């Protein structure tokens, strides 16, 4: 079992760099983690929805398979902080998973008590998920409550409403990833980030405007209060991600 930092790996007063680990084989997963360790990033994001994409494993077998893969990564790279994320199809994920099994998977990961943080999508929240969040908090696992929109950037009033819902649900970190269609959308995300920072200065926040148009938010978002930026050492997990070597020049 990993001894976790008191506050978790995502802090409100600095911007860390996170590398998604996208697989798909255990050899490739471990190779990507090794690259991340060598690059001295702050955090890795385990993305089993990408690992399972072409695995031909039945959905019923996902949970035990993923738990074993997480254990193997942990056993070899115990000191590397890990964020666990199953991204649903509705929010940009790669593999279908029923709502019931999504909940069971997150429960299994929290029970395993190895990862440092776990992503919970706002619109996947249920009373059962609320209990999982409480358990995670008790065990020192940060819960990152997230909202992704790959089609548009919602108005800031709506985004603030979502932020309030995340906080009410017990989120330790809040995350927003939005697709811009205009430069005004990019500015709106940066303004939203600034407003969150002013309103909840102690609450770590992750924000980004996606795609090529929003790419600048990944390198300058920390100026407005963004606390984690996602970078690549190879394959990206979302549009607009920047190479780690470039990010290190900015954050």
Q: Give domain limits for the chain.
A: 16-247
What span, in angstroms and rounded, lies between the C-alpha atoms of 203 and 197?
Answer: 8
**Catalytic choice (175, 194, 212, 248):** 175
Is pLDDT at 168 greater than 60 in this prediction?
yes
**Range 166-184 average pLDDT:** 98
Token match 């919970």: residue? 120
How confident is the model over 32-86, as pLDDT tens digits?
A: 999 999 999 999 999 999 999 989 899 999 999 999 999 999 999 999 999 999 9
Helix, strand, coil shares, percent, the chain, to 5: 45, 20, 40
Q: Kindly report the average pLDDT of the chain as a whole number.
A: 94
Cβ-based neighbours of 119, under 8 Å, separated by 6 or more: 45, 83, 84, 85, 86, 87, 144, 145, 146, 175
Q: What are phi and psi of 20, to 5 degrees?
A: -70, 135
Percent of the chain with pLDDT over 70: 96
Identify the band that residue 251 occupies on the pLDDT scale cut at 50, 70 and 90.
confident
**Range 5-25 average pLDDT:** 88
Q: Which long-range contacts (CB under 8 A, 24 or more apart) does 29-34 make?
A: 29/69, 29/73, 30/72, 30/73, 30/76, 32/233, 32/234, 33/73, 33/76, 33/77, 33/80, 34/77
What span, in angstroms and rounded, lies between the C-alpha atoms of 186 and 125?
Answer: 27
| DSSP output for 2-63 | PPPPSS-S--TTS-EEEEEE--SSHHHHHHHHHHHHHTT-SEEEE-HHHHTTT----HHHHH
Is pLDDT at 6 greater than 90 in this prediction?
no
**Count of other CB atoms within 10 angstroms of residue 59:** 12
**Range 17-25 average pLDDT:** 93
Is pLDDT at 125 greater than 50 in this prediction?
yes
Identify the band that residue 1 occupies on the pLDDT scale cut at 50, 70 and 90.
low
Token match 């929805």: residue? 49
Structurally, at CATH architecture level, domain 16-247 sits in Alpha-Beta Barrel (3.20)
Active site annotation includes 222:
no
Active site annotation includes 175:
yes
pLDDT of residue 5: 46
How confident is the model over 209-246, as pLDDT tens digits?
A: 999 999 999 999 999 999 999 999 876 666 678 899 99
**Catalytic choice (4, 74, 148, 222):** 148
pTM for the whole structure: 0.94
């Amino acid at each position: 079992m990993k001894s976790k930092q008191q506050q978790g790996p995502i802090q409100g007063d600095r911007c860390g760099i996170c590398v998604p680990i996208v697989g798909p084989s255990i050899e490739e997963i471990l190779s990507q983690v090794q690259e991340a360790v060598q690059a001295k990033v702050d955090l890795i994001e385990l993305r089993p929805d990408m690992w399972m994409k072409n695995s031909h494993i039945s959905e019923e077998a996902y949970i035990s398979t993923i738990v074993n893969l997480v254990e193997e990564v942990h056993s070899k790279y115990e000191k590397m902080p890990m964020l666990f994320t199953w991204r649903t199809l509705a929010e940009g994920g790669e593999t279908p998973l029923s709502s019931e099994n999504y909940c069971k998977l997150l429960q299994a990961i929290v029970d395993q008590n190895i990862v440092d943080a776990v992503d919970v999508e706002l619109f996947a929240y249920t009373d059962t998920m609320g209990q999982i969040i409480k358990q995670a908090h008790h065990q020192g696992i940060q819960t990152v409550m997230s909202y992704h929109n790959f089609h548009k950037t919602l108005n800031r009033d709506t985004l603030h409403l979502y932020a309030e819902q995340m906080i009410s649900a017990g989120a330790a970190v809040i995350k927003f990833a939005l697709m811009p269609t205009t430069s005004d959308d990019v500015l709106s995300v940066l303004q939203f980030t600034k407003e969150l920072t002013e309103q909840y200065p102690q609450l770590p926040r992750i924000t980004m405007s996606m795609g090529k148009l929003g790419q600048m938010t990944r390198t300058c978002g920390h100026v407005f209060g963004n606390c984690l930026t996602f970078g690549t050492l190879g394959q990206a997990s979302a549009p607009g991600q920047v190479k780690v070597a470039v990010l290190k020049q900015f954050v």
